[in-house]
Amino acid sequence: MYDIKLQGITKKFEAFTAVNDINFTIAKSSVTVLLGPSGCGKTTLMRMIAGLESPTQGRIFFGEHDVTDVPTRRRNIGMVFQYPVIYRGTSVRKNLELPLLSEKLSKAEMDKRIDEVAEILDLQDVLKRQVEELDNGTRQKIAVGREVARQPRIILFDEPITNIDLTSKLELKRSMKELFGRLQQTIVYVTHDQTEAMTLADQIALMQDGVITQCDTPKEIYDKPNSQFAGWFLGNPGMNFVSPQFISVSGSKVTSPLFSQTIELGGKAASAETFGVRAEGISVSTTE
């Protein structure tokens, strides 16, 4: 499998800079989630990885291979989109099988791949059914399964569970978590939903205004956000912030009329820093 190296990647649409000088490595055989609000540049970045957009400047490497100018069809990638792409008028099994026909596999190997994917995605009971008979959530499972069965080196997911109902969303998220745990492919997953990111990612690349503002494991970003934006965006509800005028800092100790006790920090803090508190770190008490 390949890692993905982005070197100085910038994308401009006339005067608008959608992605600005990104230098970033996506580890091979990992799940990296590009997370951020609408318009932050995450989908544009993914499209450049796919070859659907060309960077204005910068280079893209898969392993040691410079693929910046390589067309999409030659990048050996799979893609799953917001809306399920399926072959109508055919069965679920045929949908999973059709992309494998060009791989020159034996029938036994094709059946093995299809059965493995169907088991993980809970599609065994619908393999003989026509895709038109199935709900949108199941159709998206088919789209996921079809790309996984091909076993490309890299699979890109562009908000794949955004447009399905809540029950199907929870089920597909569970299935993909199990699937990603078994795969050896490098996964890049785009979403605006922090719950999806926290559930699925090995690492989260948090984006804002065309740049990656923080990249780390879900736990590290949640526990140690490097900005108010990261603290607010990760969490439901987001982090609460106390302005400097309401706190007093002495070395590593923080006091405030809003707190019933002195807060001991892990290190020395500057006196003008904003103080961030997670909701689960707050308890309400009464005094007589």
Same domain? For 91 and 179 the reply is yes
pLDDT recorded at residue 284: 73
Pairing state of beta strands 154-158 and 186-191? parallel
Residue 233 is assigned to a structural domain of this protein? no
**pLDDT for residue 41:** 97
Are residues 57 and 114 part of one domain?
yes
Domain enclosing residue 273, as ranges? 239-281
> Whole-angstrom Cα distance, residue 144 to residue 84?
8
Q: Are residues 245 and 194 in the same domain?
A: no
pTM of the model: 0.89
Q: Quick one: 191 and 59 in the same domain?
A: yes
Q: Could you tell me if residue 21 is left (phi over 0), alpha (psi between -120 and 50 degrees) or otherwise beta?
A: left
pLDDT number for residue 268: 64
Enumerate residues 6+ apart whose C-beta is below 8 A from 133. Answer: none
Question: Which segments of the chain have a pLDDT < 50?
Answer: none
Total count of domains within the chain: 2
Task: Note the pLDDT of residue 266.
Answer: 65
